[in-house]
């Protein structure tokens, strides 16, 4: 990673709640209209995440042709969105809503269309409402697949918020969500 990112010394590691999905199990979407994970968002990426060991979460993304940036390669914003999603999902263990405060991505290798990306994200610890996360991506299938090569990395700071944070925008939710506000997994 070339960016600056320093983890604080006083990080707290959360306990994994009894009702949290176990390793290998799928994490529920946090919001059905979410562009990253929602199954009621036709234009979205529909990413699914599973629980890994400890505080790790795994996600996959099929790099579709309409995710194109430069000719033949993924758009950097799409890759950033995928990191935002899986790192946000790594915060789900806290069982509180979070929003992204800061996200920094290093694009280490080009990622061609048709790739299948595997993401490994983790919650590194919390300080008060601040949630520190990190993640890597690898191409596990497709034309330039090499699961030993990290093609991108990300560091993200999330902030826990109250549900009221989303109340102020509820008028703007499009259509009728499949899982109404406040009845998602947490």
**Per rule CB under 6 A, is residue 31 in the interface with ligand 3IX?**
yes
Nearer to ligand 3IX, 113 or 135 (CB): 135
Give 44 or 97: the residue with its C-beta nearer to ligand 3IX.
97
Of 87-126, which residues contact ligand 3IX (CB under 6 A)? 88-89, 91-92, 97-102
Q: How far is the CB of 133 from ligand 3IX (least distance, A)?
A: 10
Residues in the interface with ligand 3IX (CB under 6 A) total 24
Q: Binding of ligand 3IX at residue 184 (CB under 6 A)?
A: yes
Q: Which two tokens stand for residue 52?
A: 């890994």
Residue from 33, 90, 81, 31 nearest 56 by CA: 90
Q: In what order do the strands lie in the sheet with 130-141?
A: 26-27, 49-51, 56-62, 116-127, 130-141, 150-160, 98-107
Distance from C-alpha of 8 to C-alpha of 159, rounded to nearest angstrom: 15
Span 122-141, contacts to ligand 3IX by CB under 6 A = 128-130
Binder among 16, 78, 157, 178 for ligand 3IX (CB under 6 A): 157
Two tokens, residue 102: 């800061």
Q: Among residues 58, 61, 28, 57, which one has the least CA distance to residue 44? A: 61
Helices (H), the chain: 76-90, 164-167
CA-based nearest residue to 92, from 7, 19, 1: 19
Shortest separation between residue 137's beta carbon and ligand 3IX, angstroms: 16
Give 36 or 113: the residue with its C-beta nearer to ligand 3IX: 36
Which residues sit at the interface with ligand 3IX, rule CB under 6 A?
Answer: 30-31, 36, 84-85, 88-89, 91-92, 97-102, 128-130, 157, 159, 161, 166, 184, 186
């Amino acid at each position: 990673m070339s960016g600056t990112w320093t983890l604080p010394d006083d990080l707290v590691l959360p306990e994994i709640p009894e009702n949290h999905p176990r390793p290998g199990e799928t994490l529920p979407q946090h919001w059905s209209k979410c562009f990253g994970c929602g199954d009621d968002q036709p234009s979205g990426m529909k990413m699914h995440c599973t629980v890994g060991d400890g505080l790790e979460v795994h996600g996959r993304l099929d790099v579709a042709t309409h995710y194109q940036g430069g000719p033949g390669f993924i758009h950097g914003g799409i890759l950033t969105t995928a990191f935002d999603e899986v790192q946000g999902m790594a915060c789900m263990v806290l069982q509180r809503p979070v929003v992204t405060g800061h996200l920094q991505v290093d694009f280490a290798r080009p990622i061609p269309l048709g790739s299948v990306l595997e993401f490994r994200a983790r919650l590194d610890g919390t300080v008060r409402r601040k949630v520190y996360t990190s993640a890597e991506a690898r191409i596990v299938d497709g034309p330039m697949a090499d699961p030993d090569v990290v093609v991108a990395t990300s560091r993200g700071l999330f902030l826990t918020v109250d549900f009221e944070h989303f109340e102020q925008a509820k008028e703007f939710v499009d259509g009728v969500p499949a899982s109404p506000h406040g009845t998602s997994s947490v």
